[in-house]
Structure formats: structure tokens, C-alpha cells
Amino acid sequence: MKKITTYQNKKVLVLGLAKSGVSAAKLLHDLGALVTVNDGKPFEENPQAQDLLALGIKVICGSHPIELLDEDFSMMVKNPGIPYSHPLVQKAQEKGLPIITEVELAYQISEALMIAITGTNGKTTTTTMIANILNAGMTDHKAYLSGNIGYPASTVAKKAEKDDCLVMEVSSFQLMGVKQFHPKVAVLTNLYEAHLDYHGSWEAYVAAKWQVQQNMTTDDFLILNWNQKEIQELAQNTQATVVPFSTREVVDGAYLYQGTLYYKDAAILAADELGVPGAHNIENALAAIAAAALWGIDYQVIANALRTFSGVKHRTQYVGKIDEVAFYNDSKATNILATQKALEGFDPHKLILLCGGLDRGNDFDALIPSLKGVKAVVLFGQTKHKLEDAARKAGIPEISFAENAEEAAALAFELSQKGDTILLSPANASWDQYRNFEVRGDRYIAAVEQLSEKKGSSQ
């Protein structure tokens, strides 16, 4: 990593721990900063804070006292999940204190160039596809997954060498806190309404996403979803060299034409050769093809990597088969759009959909067109009766209810026949029953494994 002296003997406040806060605090400490960490969880219940204290880092836990800012801090590093409406953040803004997120630190110390991926949906899959392709084609160096995908960017940036690549998923929350952040290649997968409770408006959300390219120049490449008119309009306002991708038209980039994925004039592979199903994954693959091609990866390597790509856990993840019934885990589908995209990848007449979760006050009428033709649904969680209404309007003949995703898996298997697919794609957040979507997906996978064991022991 670059041995920068920017923070030597500077007082820095790290607000909020979790993975990124711990990583930022340790990095700043290594860089000679005088770090104070403030986290809401009480110290005695906070092993992360205890570990940081053992390193000699000042730790204040259990509350967020405003008087903390009476100290002469030079900067705040904010956990991305903490909103700007938080009293301590607002006070820092009033004082004119610079507020950054941990990905900014990662950029400042990284010797490796960076591919940054953002967007509403498809970020994690596209990020993983790109890293897989690069690692298949880079013989002497490595592509490192980092960022919002679960690997703190500033930890990964420490070990990445000059000719490596940081393949970084970045959220709108993280991008609100960047200053110098400058990827060599950036990808915007798509833009749909999301996180408006955090950003306050659609315009603010789009502006946050668009910060990914704010420091890019004509020597850098910005890969954009040309299916969306809003993104085409944004493309008029960047210094970067725009590389479009599209499933609807031939573009000067990556595109789908007559069932084949192309980059420029070169056919890469047939759409039905992709290792993961769904129209949304064709878009993800096109973005990944463009990024890999720009990085100089051989087209045959790109094609082979995409053929063998089996998906990302909790994102239309293939779990396995029992009696010729296939199970997929799409627990990451925490909104209607994500479930709509997942449904596009399956034959509805052989599909049993498991759906439901946290009630955020919305109805599910937008899901009705995608539900038409679906063989059966098993519904659970707070929204099960709202989803029942949508399912009846869609004409689904078999509507059942379960207590949770695990029970839904077992009930769906009872309803299934050979050749069917059972898909967990909840269209809702998980917090009514589970700590997060990962736990929900893991419980579903465990339930499928139990069904398989039970089936095997009965044969």
C-alpha cells in the first residue's frame, strides 16, 4: 500500500463500527492518526471495540455524545449505514468537518488500479463476474473483490500490489463520502427507485450513484446500461469515455444480438451458455464483458469464465435438485423489481415461488404481470396477505401459506412435481423474521438440505 502521511498525528473520528469501521480505524491507526471510535453498542457487548482498545485506539461506546465534537478532529469517517440526519453527523457538517466513507481511504492508499461497480440491482453479481474473469485471465497478478460485497475496501487495498486490480462494489451510501476516489473503469448497472428513505429524493439518490465518475477523465472508461434513457442522459455529463451495454440494440460496446453476447464486433458466447439464468444476468454479463475486455482479457477466457459462473450466494443461487425438482435461493431479492428480474429467468408454468417478508406499507400490484402463469406460490411473513391479493389477481391457481422461508421450502416440495423449480425470491426485506437476507437464505438452504437428507434416508 502507499505509505501516505496525510493523517500523521491528525485527530480522526470513526463513527460506527461493523466491518468497514473496524477496517478504517485500524488503517488510520497504522497511518499514524490519533483515532477515536464511537459506536452505539455498549462496550461490554462490543468485541470489535474491545479489540480496537487493545490496539491503543480510543473507544467511546453506548451512545453518540454531541460533545465528542468539541475535540479538534480533522475528519470524520462515517459508517455508510449511518444517515446524514444523525445528530452527530449533522453537527459535524455544521462545523465544516470533512466526512468520508471507508472506500475513500481505500483509494488513497491503494497501489492497484480499480474497477468500481455501482447501480440499484446486479452490483454483487457483476462485481463477482468481473473478478472471476480477471482472475482467469491474469497469470501473474490478482483481482481482489472488495467494498460493499463484504470485504472492507481499506483492508483489501493494503495487500493489493501495483499490477493487481481492486474490483470494488460501491453503494450509494459509500459514494456520498468520496472526495478523490477515482476508478480506472466504472460500471453503472442500472438505476431504479431505492433507498429514498435515506437519500430523501430520487434526484439525490441518482446524484450519489453518479459520484462514481466524478474524478474520471477521458483516459478512464465508464460502462453504462444503454437500456435506460435516464442513464443515456447522464452520459452527457461525464469526462470519462463512455462504453455502453444493451440487450435491446447494437451499441459501440457490449450487446445482445440474435441470442449472442458481443463486444464490439466480436461474438463472445451465446446467451443460453451463461452459467446463471435470467434476463438480468445477461445485462450483468454484458457489463462484465465490457470491463474485462477493457482490462485486456482474452475473449475466449471471458467466455469460459461466464460459462462456468454459477452465481453468487443468495442471488438466484442454484441450491440443488431433489427428485428432479430444482431449488434456487434469491433471498437478496428484497424489493419487487429484484423478484421481477428473477422471475424472467424461469418457465412460470413449472415454477413455485416462495415470497414474503417485512411490510413497508406498499402493495404488490406491480408484481402481478410477472406472476401470471406461475404454477403456485407459498407466502410467509408480514406481507403474505398483500401478496395473496396480488397472486389472486394474477390468476395463480395454488396459493399456500407458511410460517417462514424454511417451512415454505418443505411445503413447496410437497406441491411440486418432477421438472418443477422452487424459487425463494421474497420481494421483501427480511427484518420481520430474520436479522438479514443472508440469514433468511441460509435457513432456506438448510431446509433444502434437510429435505434432501430425509428423501435420501427414505429411499
Residues tagged in the binding site annotation? 119-125
Assign residue 419 a region: left if phi > 0, alpha if psi is -120 to 50, beta otherwise? left
The SS3 call for residue 80 is coil
| Site of grid cell 435457513 | 443
Under DSSP, the state recorded for 151 is B
Q: Are 52 and 22 in contact (CB under 8 A)?
A: yes
Largest CA distance in the chain: 71
Instruction: Name which of 164, 167, 149 is nearest 314 in CA terms.
Output: 149
Instruction: Name which of 346, 347, 344 is nearest 369 in CA terms.
Output: 344
According to DSSP H, which parts of 222-367 are helical? 229-234, 279-294, 299-307, 336-343
Give CA separation, 229 vs 203, 320, 340, 441, in Å: 15, 38, 20, 34
The SS3 call for residue 317 is strand
Binding residues for ATP: 119-125
Q: Are 212 and 188 in contact (CB under 8 A)?
A: yes
Calculate helix-pair angle for 18-30, 47-54, nearest 10 degrees.
0
Instruction: Name which of 446, 402, 447 is nearest 426 in CA terms.
Output: 402
